[in-house]
């Protein structure tokens, strides 16, 4: 980190970056999802993927509400995916705020590489298999949450929510890649 304005910019933000990283690492559902996206064999993943169509949205809500009791199954993986999206969105907000405070002539790209590296390894979306599995969860989450949304908001057209959710996830992923994976994507 450079002395002067760059250091004055970065040091006050560092505890917040660590807090976001620690929250991600301490989330049992997020941990279960990141473990699974990286470590399950194709056979195990395919089994989970087939089970995603039959997820009960009420059980999904229970898993999110009691993460420490969640077993490793498809419902917990979907809950973990949703938690990962929350963490990615929190990181996105942090980096947007940091960018707005970045000093003129500062090295914001280097800052992203250093701070983004704290959590980038959790979701290596540049890895083809992980990216494909992540996309599977996005598609499945939309259908698993559909009954819950219909129950909660009976007058809302499903396609409006689905389009909005897809756009939001795409933006969160794009920002994750920009803020966390910029160094890795440059060398790939």
User: In this predicted model, what pLDDT tens digit does every residue of 39-79 receive, in sequence order?
Assistant: 899 999 999 888 887 888 889 889 999 999 999 999 999 99
Q: Are 78 and 144 in contact (CB under 8 A)?
A: yes
Q: Angle CA(22)–CA(26)–CA(28) in degrees, nearest 5? A: 150
The residue among 184 and 52 whose pLDDT is bigger is 52
- Please count the other Cβ atoms lying within 10 Å of the Cβ belonging to residue 186: 9
pLDDT-derived band at 182 (thresholds 50, 70, 90) equals low
Confidence of residue 187 (pLDDT cuts 50, 70, 90): very low
Q: Find the domain containing 173 and state its range.
A: 5-187
Q: Tell me if residue 150 falls in helix, strand or coil.
A: helix
- Cβ–Cβ < 8 Å for 38, 130: yes
Is residue 158's pLDDT more than 80?
no
Within 10 Å of residue 12's Cβ, how many Cβ atoms? Answer: 10
The count of other CB atoms within 10 Å of the CB of residue 33 is 26
Number of domains in the chain: 1
The per-residue pLDDT for range 86-139, each reduced to its tens digit, is 999 999 999 999 998 888 877 888 888 888 887 777 776 778 888 889 888 888
The per-residue pLDDT for range 147-156, each reduced to its tens digit, is 777 888 888 7
In this structure, are residues 182 and 109 in contact, taking their beta carbons and an 8 Å threshold? yes
d(CA 111, CA 10): 8
CB 76 within 8 A of CB 40: no
| Nearest-angstrom CA–CA distance, 19 and 187 | 28
**Among all chains, which residue has been given the structure tokens 């290596």?**
124
């Amino acid at each position: 980190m450079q002395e002067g304005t760059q250091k004055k910019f970065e040091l006050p933000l560092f505890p917040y970056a660590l807090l976001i990283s620690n929250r991600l690492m301490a989330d049992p559902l997020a941990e279960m999802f990141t473990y699974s996206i990286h470590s399950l064999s194709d056979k195990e993943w395919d089994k989970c993927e087939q089970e995603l169509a039959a997820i009960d949205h009420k059980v999904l809500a229970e898993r999110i509400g009691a993460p420490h009791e969640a077993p490793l199954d498809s419902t917990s993986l979907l809950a973990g995916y949703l938690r990962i999206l929350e963490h990615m969105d929190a990181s996105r907000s942090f980096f947007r705020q940091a960018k707005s405070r970045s000093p003129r002539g500062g090295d914001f790209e280097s800052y992203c590489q250093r701070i983004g590296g704290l959590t980038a390894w959790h979701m290596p979306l540049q890895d083809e298999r992980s990216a494909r599995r992540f996309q599977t969860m996005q598609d499945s989450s939309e259908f698993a949450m559909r009954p819950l949304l219909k129950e909660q908001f009976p007058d809302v057209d499903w396609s409006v929510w689905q389009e909005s959710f897809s756009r939001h996830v795409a933006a969160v992923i794009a920002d994750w890649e920009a803020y966390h994976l910029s160094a890795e994507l440059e060398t790939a």
